[in-house]
Amino acid sequence: MEHLISAVETPDYEGFNQSLKSGAELLLQIPKNKTIRVIGHLDADGICASAIMINALIKLNRKYALTTLPTITEEILSDVVEDNEEHIIFVDLGSGNIDTVGKVLSNKKIFVLDHHQLHSTTNYENITQMNPHMYNIDGSNEISGSGVVFMFTQYLTDNKNTEMSRIAIVGAIGDIQERDGFKKLNNDILDIAIKNNLIEVRKGLKFFGVQTKPIYKLLQYSSDIIIPGVTGSESGSIHFLQSIGIDPKTKNGWKKIADLTEDEKKRLIATIIMKRVVKSGSSSSDVFTNSYLLIGELDDVPFRDAKEFATLLNSCGRLNKASIGIGACLNDKKMKEMAMQNLTDYRKELVNALNWYKDNANTDRVIKKKNCIIINAEDEVIPTIIGTLGSILSKSQDIPPNTFILSLARNHDDTTKISLRITGNPDGINLKEVIESIIQKINHGSSGGHSFAAGAVIDTDKEEEFLKASLDVLESIIIEEKI
Ligand SMILES: [Mn+2]
């Protein structure tokens, strides 16, 4: 692969487009009677990417089979792919495991559409890999897995997969590629969605669930907009609204943002800007965020706001119901209803996890040290939400800043999933590096993630060794107080 060792550092958009175009031509050569296996990643972006791919295959009258995976291993791959299947498309995964794919599926014709970092420079004759990183395009924030698949399917269908541009935006938001707007390729896709009347962009208050939750709950649970006496307090939030002349209730229930008059909305925003705690370096515009609204969806459903849609898809993945999420992306009414039920179930699981933590906070399952809390849920919290539990705790006002939160929960296959978070917002701490050093210390397991959220997987029988090494590593890290 000459482009990998190319000295040219500038992004080669033309080259990337060309690779998608010739990949699409190759895929169209597959005989129509063959079943194509689509293997997608089990997160919001992967679910969107799978849906976009399938939508195109349906249009092309192709037979397909679908699998959604959290990760790729040799065992899983040989399990999933049937002997008689010759053609496999990986979406939003594959580039990090190209050698495994090449080894296990050496007699298959493979397409990899991914935006994750490349992990190997080996060229496999049977693999057509399409990845922006091969063309110096930053796949971590210029385009998501869904975006790559969307661009690909536009070549595949002669630009007739346009309606899925909205799902590509949901996927990019799921991968947190929207930070005060999109960049480059994501922006091009957004333009397509806007031009085709699929998405409208509005400035709104930086609350999660702004479309679907009562206003007092937005205030109570906000982690971006902190108002003393209001944030974290139900009665404080209700009183706050009453104090500015907004009745928190409607005739039938609790008022949502959409129920406010323009006047009330202005009053709410002005008071929030006045009363909130201003973090250093932030400005009044920090209370606002872009909302990407799907045109044609009702105001109070989680499919209306792309951010909530992505959360709903994540919850499908986490409860192992990716196919419901894919159905919802394909706009199937029944599947959308099921996806909403799944979101309710997921929230219940989260509440269970938080309750488990509260009940066990003073037992030997929760180790509390000066700068860290180590939680070993074993099999009492489902492993797919252990990271979310850690994230929620890391935002809790009850735990001092600069406290590591390391949590463990067991998978079904005798492995243990680990997540690492930290409270506050300390400078110079990279959680991915921290967890890497623990894993290196025990010389077992694998780790990954970002500076602000990282994780690992180990064999369950190595838990004790891991916990010991964690204490050594975490307690040796001294974080300087911010002044
Ligand atoms: Mn992705």
pLDDT tens across 27-61, in order? 999 999 999 999 999 999 999 999 999 999 999 99
Q: Check: CB of residue 401 under 8 Å from CB of residue 427.
A: no
The reply to whether 158 and 129 lie within a common domain is yes
Convert the pLDDT of each residue in 137-160 to its tens digit: 999 889 999 999 999 999 999 999
**Domain end position, chosen among 197, 216, 246:** 197
What pLDDT shows up at residue 124?
94
CB atoms within 10 A of CB 189: 27
Query: Could you give the residue ranges of the DSSP H alpha helices within 282-430?
Result: 306-318, 322-329, 333-360, 386-394
Band of pLDDT at residue 277, cut at 50, 70 and 90? confident
What's the full length of the chain, in residues?
Answer: 483
What pLDDT shows up at residue 281?
57
The reply to whether 176 and 29 lie within a common domain is yes
What pLDDT shows up at residue 209?
79
CB-based burial of residue 479 (10 Å sphere; 0-12 exposed, 13-18 middle, 19+ buried)? middle
**Domain end position, chosen among 301, 319, 349:** 349
What pLDDT shows up at residue 279?
60
The alpha carbon of 72 and the centre of ligand 1 are apart by a number of angstroms equal to 14
- Number of structural domains, the chain? 3
In the chain, % helix, strand, coil (3-state, to 5) comes to 45, 15, 40
- Which tokens belong to 409? 């929960």
Band of pLDDT at residue 1, cut at 50, 70 and 90? very low
pLDDT at residue 320 above 70? yes
The reply to whether 423 and 471 lie within a common domain is yes
The reply to whether 329 and 371 lie within a common domain is no
| CATH number (domain holding residue 415) | 3.10.310.40
Mean pLDDT of the chain: 91
Residues, beta carbon < 5 Å, ion ligand 1? 45, 92, 145, 175
The pTM of the full predicted model, rounded to 2 decimals, is 0.83
The alpha carbon of 165 and the centre of ligand 1 are apart by a number of angstroms equal to 15
Q: Does some domain include residue 355?
A: no
What pLDDT shows up at residue 424?
83
Q: Does some domain include residue 354?
A: no
The alpha carbon of 139 and the centre of ligand 1 are apart by a number of angstroms equal to 9
The alpha carbon of 190 and the centre of ligand 1 are apart by a number of angstroms equal to 17
Q: Does some domain include residue 481?
A: no
The reply to whether 159 and 252 lie within a common domain is no
Q: Check: CB of residue 199 under 8 Å from CB of residue 295.
A: yes
Convert the pLDDT of each residue in 324-343 to its tens digit: 999 999 999 999 999 999 99
Can you give the residue range of the structural domain that contains 329? 203-349
pLDDT at residue 284 above 80? no
Q: How far is CA 178 from CA 140, 183, 284, 306, in A?
A: 11, 8, 19, 11
Q: Does some domain include residue 356?
A: no
The alpha carbon of 338 and the centre of ligand 1 are apart by a number of angstroms equal to 24
The reply to whether 152 and 222 lie within a common domain is no
Convert the pLDDT of each residue in 187-225 to its tens digit: 999 999 999 999 999 987 788 777 788 999 999 888 778
Q: How far apart are CA 328 and CA 236, in angstroms?
A: 37
The alpha carbon of 105 and the centre of ligand 1 are apart by a number of angstroms equal to 22
CB-based burial of residue 482 (10 Å sphere; 0-12 exposed, 13-18 middle, 19+ buried)? exposed
What pLDDT shows up at residue 2?
45
